[in-house]
Amino acid sequence: MADIKDWKSLSEPTKEWNELLESIGGQAPDLGMFPDIASMRTWITEAKKAMTANFEPVKGIKEEKDHEITVGDGSKITVRTYVPEKSGGPLAVIYHGGGFCIGGLENEELLCRNLCGRLGCSVVNVDYRLAPEHVFPAAAHDCWDATVWAADNATTLLSSDPSKGFIVGGTSAGGNLAAVVSHLAQDSPLAYPVTGAHLMIPALCNNKSYPDKYKSDLISYEQNKNAAILSEKAMDLFIDNYVPDRSKRSDPLLSVLNWKSGHNGQPTTYFQICGADPLRDEALVYERLLREDLGVKTKVDVYPGLPHGFWSVFPQMKSSGKFVEDSVKGAEWLLANGRA
């Protein structure tokens, strides 16, 4: 990533995106158009099912099974596990996106199946509790508790060997939760060390809580506030429901860039970043911090001119197929390059 000098130029739309817009009448969808969380939930569930159906079924999976587990406050959540035909492979725990308010197990069905069937990972897909019914930091606590459960049950229930690799990953809000979990694991070690973090279009810091030293670089929130799919209006709807108490928005369990113990000890990290995304620069700043300041191995795939979550909404695009394939290759890179 050191060769990308002009982050701002990454917002310029691609030919494929312009052609797509023209084909749908020039108006791209925006989650900010929905009046409330309830109506948005129905839409995202159907969109994710359609996206998964657009790709070929994945072979090599022995079992998919739902489990009800107990989290720290005594509540129950569901995790869906995927076990490959050949046992003894790596472990991956995946957290879905949706602004901490929408989405579920369907969101990451395709990724989980690819990691299991193609890379031989045992995978845990986490259905954490959503806001506004469960506000911050419920999602963060649920994801940590589910990851502890996965590590504790890796060799028995999941037929996995995390010494061959232990990845945490997620998309958007799920990318935030993956970064939170990898930092919690830095401070409170799990049964097995996390060897890789897979951060797809991650939210890493509330825009009102940017560390002073990075503020001049974090311009994408303002530059792309009217972007397709994830606009400023959509982000406000999500954050107001997930963290209604504004005083908590700088908390490291949301704003990971402010982690109190720093970032030393973070695992090998793979980023997927959209150029026309308000969250773009958070990821670019964090990648640079890990690579230049701490010497962490990183890999980055950038999708210039494309908005947040484009592959979910428009799976027919060639760029969408590339994003999905990159997700698998990126995870494969993490397994090959993760810390011991």
* Residues catalogued as catalytic: 172, 277, 308
Amino acid at 62: K
Query: CA–CA separation, 296 vs 125, rounded Å?
Result: 26
Helices (H), the chain: 15-23, 37-53, 109-119, 138-152, 173-187, 220-223, 232-242, 280-288, 294, 310-313, 318-337
Angle between helices 109-119 and 37-53 (to 10 degrees): 30
In the three-class reduction of DSSP (H, G, I as helix; E, B as strand; rest coil), residue 22 is classed as: helix
Length of the chain: 340
For residue 219, the number of C-alpha atoms closer than 13 Å in the C-beta half-sphere is 9
In the three-class reduction of DSSP (H, G, I as helix; E, B as strand; rest coil), residue 261 is classed as: coil
Query: Beta-carbon neighbour count of residue 321 at 10 Å?
Result: 14
